[in-house]
Chains A and B, each alone.
Chain A
Amino acid sequence: MQLNTQFMWETFLDVLQGIPVTLKIVVVTLLVSSPLGFLMAVSKSGEGRIGRRIIVAYVSVIRGTPVVLQILFLYSLLPTVLNYLIKEVLGSSYNIFNLDPIFYAYVVFILNTTAVLSEVFRSALSTVNRGQMEAALSIGMSRPQAYVRIIMPQALVAALPNICNTTVNLLKSTSLAFMMTVKDITAIAKIDASFGYNYLEAYLVIFVVYIFLCSAVQGVFHLTEQGVAVYKKPVVS
């Protein structure tokens, strides 16, 4: 057996064009999911009983089903529903089937990551002891002020390792976006491979690409952790 190195190099160059797509899904998902997940974590630890039940149900549905199934399900359901809404309810002539499939990828991964992050933030919030909230109230700060200035910054630092995990998992999950015809790294490799049945070579190439990307993400988080956790460092005297 011999590897077609020429093909591997060409595939690598092709795949590079998929990296922005993959990263776009990751970044958009994180930007939307982080605040949503945080709000859910806060309201889960708050008083609203109905809200809490809805959140618990949502999280267990998402966590209790495979991502692949979520993709298959939503990718079958969403276009049909949206088409009906646009045509019948809004009376518009917009063709939903022309929509860039990356939007479906956003929806699936946002739904997923929000659920995961809400749990990440919930556990992070619980690491900040209640006494600090009381101390803030006792010197006259309001609850929101205490949250923003005292509790949140510490919770975020505590959450960083888990956010890193979530991000890496998300990045890897985006390889499933090819099922929704999104041209990400994996999709490009598969397409290239299918012309001459060079699947092994194509997969080897993106193997390396994913390792590189995931390592980069972990590196970034590692540096951030060191930067923000100054208050945890012992004093050097």
Chain B
Amino acid sequence: MLKVKEVQKAFGDNQVLRGVDIEVAKGDIVVILGPSGSGKTTFLRCLNFLERADGGTMDFDGIHTELKSASKAVVSRVRKKTAFVFQNYNLFQNKTALQNVTEGLIVARKVPKAEALARAKAALDKVGLSDRYDYYPSQLSGGQQQRVGIARAIAVDPDVLLFDEPTSALDPELIGEVLAVMKKLAKEGATMIIVTHEMTFAQEVASKVIFMDGGVIVEQGSAKQIFTTPKEERTIQFLRRVLKDFDYVI
């Protein structure tokens, strides 16, 4: 369904992506792992044109485009097929939880108001916030805010959900509630591309794991393959380091 090839991106002299390919089928849960600075977030942002790649092509459900020269119309079509969940939630601070979700439906997709409200409520119910419709972001905990962020993303009924380290800004005790929602979405067959550092979660839900470093894909395969029998030295090093993090006892 989604296929991107040879994605390149540099910030000044810093070549962040050096030709990244990815293929995603409907229902896939793709987890991207890698150390900081490996380009995973930038890659995800390029998929939604929040960052304009310097090179590469995209085939997405009938849309074929160069990433660099994609027209406004194409960008808009791709954005309407995808939804993004941000590390820092990026909720609209001047809107309630419900308005955060309806905004994209009513303003961007011209969904009639009554239908938008119903869909927004359904989305918020799904992430377990049926009692928080009229709360402003500043009145919600981090975990609740991120769940509103997820509701905002799923309400627009995207073909692919993009998650950029959705739990990295959360207190450890709030991470669980967000991951639980994501697992639920995975079970329901949503297509997701997830950048995360949650290894246990990745092992559990990923249908495909990609390990990135230095702007390239070092290794990819099923979760089992990557976590139990990694082939590349760089992957082994990385996994040893991050998995060890869970060993210590406080």
A residues adjacent to B (C-beta < 8 A): 128-129, 131-132, 134-142, 145, 149-150, 153-154, 157, 230-235
Contact = CB atoms under 8 A, between A and B. Distances in A.
Contact of B103 (A129, A149, A153): A149
B104 A139 contact: yes
Contacts of A149: 103, 107
Contact of B92 (A135, A157, A230): A135
A135 B139 contact: no
A235 B135 CA distance: 8
Contacts of A157: 94
Contacts of B96: 231
Interface string B79-106: 1101110101011111110000001100
Given A139-B83, A139-B103, A140-B109, A154 B93 contact: yes
A128 B50 CA distance: 18
A231 B136 contact: yes
The residue among A128, A140, A145, A231 with the most chain B CB atoms within 10 A of its own CB is A140
A141 B103 contact: yes
Contact of B139 (A140, A141, A234): A234
A128 B93 CA distance: 9
A126 to B, nearest CB: 15
Contact of B108 (A131, A141, A232, A234): A141
Contacts of A136: 92, 103-104
B76 interface: yes
Contacts of A138: 48, 50, 79, 82-84
B55 to A, nearest CB: 22
A157 B80 CA distance: 30
B152 interface: yes
Contacts of B92: 132, 135-136, 150
Interface of B: 48, 50, 76, 79-80, 82-84, 86, 88, 90-96, 103-104, 107-109, 135-139, 149, 152-153, 156
A137 B50 contact: yes
Closest 6 CB pairs of A and B: A139-B104, A140-B108, A131-B90, A138-B84, A135-B90, A235-B139
29 contacts: A131-B86, A131-B90, A132-B90, A132-B91, A132-B92, A132-B93, A134-B90, A135-B90, A135-B92, A136-B92, A137-B50, A138-B79, A138-B83, A139-B84, A139-B103, A139-B108, A139-B153, A140-B79, A140-B104, A141-B103, A141-B104, A142-B108, A145-B108, A150-B92, A150-B103, A230-B136, A231-B93, A231-B136, A235-B139
Nearest to A231: B136
Given A135-B86, A138-B84, A154-B94, A231 B138 contact: yes
B107 A134 contact: no
A156 B42 CA distance: 32
Contacts of B50: 134, 137-138
A145 B107 contact: yes
A131 B93 CA distance: 11
Contacts of A131: 86, 88, 90
B86 A140 contact: no
Contacts of A132: 90-93
A142 to B, nearest CB: 8
Contacts of B104: 136, 139-141
A127 B76 CA distance: 27
